[in-house]
Homo-oligomer: A and B are copies of this chain.
């Protein structure tokens, strides 16, 4: 029997990192990733501001008579920072349109940005401090996720909330300028509150997870600020987070390259408002539409060759609701062929049921091809005029290999935010977000513009 090496001091090391890493001590790509992460999150949160899940959460939190401390993005009400973090966190995930770290399936912004913006508004933090907190908070979320992924995820945890609560606590501790000791206490308290079961997918409880993680992480940091204690080995101890929530611990992953390599650089954004596995097929259809000026009436038949997961997760032939449409490769491809895009609006129930979309959807066929990688797809379109158009997609737009351009991200933001805020305010929010850290008043101005006028 050989003795296992003791685990590294993850809690303390991450706490020192979060409290001590100098502001903006990373390269420009990392800082840009921070800004893109916040912008994408804001678009998703604002776009979903009136969703029934958000409305229900607002109504429930109103029972606490919350103080008007912080903005609910895209809404007129203000709430205390804990409730605001919850509501905004829910809103940002409700469309399944937010960011994804492809290495561990965390949607990192939800808990981290929701907590950071609520705290920053209350404590008059600068835009620079917010970007720093988001970069560091996402780093913590993703490193905690790497520590327990994939066993933790496979067991059934919704890793966005269960790892995300530690990232939210880290970002909050940073904004509150807690020292290393108190930051460790904040992480410890967060470690006791993993949120999220995958059993909830398809219900409002799924977007509840990043919201609840945001609130719990923010509260953990406030408790630590006032002297509340927790175990200094809450993450790595024998009865700590890593052992309790996972049968597998990748200790090296948690700390490798800490402060040199930042996980946020690997964050990706969805150009299409639906399940990620569908994206290569949509990408191929869009590409053929653009190259050949295809009109829906031109299309006789679409044949997709796809990775097995595509039909397992998104094989719904006859979706009826918006949510079902998001998990139907047939609807996703039909929508992009009809409208030239597959943003949130193209997954509304009325579109999913529209006769011309349904008719085109029924001319789309998919075959599983085990030789196709999960990030790839093969698309063939037969036209009524006899043309056969073929597109092979290796990596979809929005993947790590083909990131969304800044322009595309702006367009996505506008498509989400303009219907809620109007064009002028949406543009102002986008501009202030891009400028966070550049000037003094950008953050305050962002909050002013991010609600209906």
Q: Which residues of A contact B (CB under 8 A)?
A: 52-53, 56-57, 59-61, 63-67, 69, 80-82, 122, 155-158, 161, 188-189, 191-200, 202-205, 208-209, 212, 216, 219, 222-223, 225-231, 233-234, 237-241, 243-244
Chain B residue contacts of A198, Cβ below 8 A: 239
The residue on B at minimum CB distance from A156 is B239
Asked if B64 and A69 make an inter-chain contact with CB atoms under 8 angstroms apart, the answer reads yes
Ranked 9 nearest A-B pairs via Cβ: A156-B239, A65-B67, A205-B230, A59-B226, A199-B240, A199-B237, A198-B239, A156-B244, A199-B239
Knowing that A64-B81, A199-B238 are A-B contacts, what are 8 other residue pairs whose CB atoms are under 8 Å apart, sorted by A's residue number?
A56-B227, A60-B219, A155-B239, A192-B196, A194-B194, A197-B237, A198-B239, A199-B237
CB distance from A131 to the nearest CB of B (A): 23
Asked if B222 and A63 make an inter-chain contact with CB atoms under 8 angstroms apart, the answer reads yes
Asked if B234 and A199 make an inter-chain contact with CB atoms under 8 angstroms apart, the answer reads yes
For A59, A192, A208, A234, the residue with the greatest tally of chain B CB atoms inside 10 Å of its CB is: A192
Chain B residue contacts of A241, Cβ below 8 A: 197, 199
Asked if B80 and A64 make an inter-chain contact with CB atoms under 8 angstroms apart, the answer reads yes
Asked if B157 and A244 make an inter-chain contact with CB atoms under 8 angstroms apart, the answer reads yes
Chain B residue contacts of A67, Cβ below 8 A: 64-67
Asked if B56 and A82 make an inter-chain contact with CB atoms under 8 angstroms apart, the answer reads no
For A157, A188, A208, A223, the residue with the greatest tally of chain B CB atoms inside 10 Å of its CB is: A223
CB distance from A228 to the nearest CB of B (A): 4
Given contacts A59-B226, A66-B64, A156-B244, contact A231 B203 (CB under 8 A): yes
Q: How far is the CA of A237 from the CA of B205 in the complex (A)?
A: 14
Asked if B188 and A192 make an inter-chain contact with CB atoms under 8 angstroms apart, the answer reads no
Chain B residue contacts of A208, Cβ below 8 A: 189, 192, 223, 228, 230
Asked if A192 and B161 make an inter-chain contact with CB atoms under 8 angstroms apart, the answer reads yes
The residue on B at minimum CB distance from A227 is B56
Chain B residue contacts of A191, Cβ below 8 A: 197, 199
Q: How far is the CA of A143 from the CA of B327 in the complex (A)?
A: 36
Asked if A69 and B59 make an inter-chain contact with CB atoms under 8 angstroms apart, the answer reads no
The residue on B at minimum CB distance from A83 is B64
For A57, A63, A226, the residue with the greatest tally of chain B CB atoms inside 10 Å of its CB is: A63
Contact of A200 among B57, B192, B205, B225 (CB under 8 A): B192
CB distance from A448 to the nearest CB of B (A): 21
CB distance from A6 to the nearest CB of B (A): 14
For A65, A122, A193, A204, the residue with the greatest tally of chain B CB atoms inside 10 Å of its CB is: A193
Q: How far is the CA of A64 from the CA of B223 in the complex (A)?
A: 12
The residue on B at minimum CB distance from A90 is B228
CB distance from A42 to the nearest CB of B (A): 23
Chain B residue contacts of A199, Cβ below 8 A: 191, 231, 233-234, 237-241, 244
The residue on B at minimum CB distance from A54 is B228
The residue on B at minimum CB distance from A200 is B231
Asked if B212 and A193 make an inter-chain contact with CB atoms under 8 angstroms apart, the answer reads yes
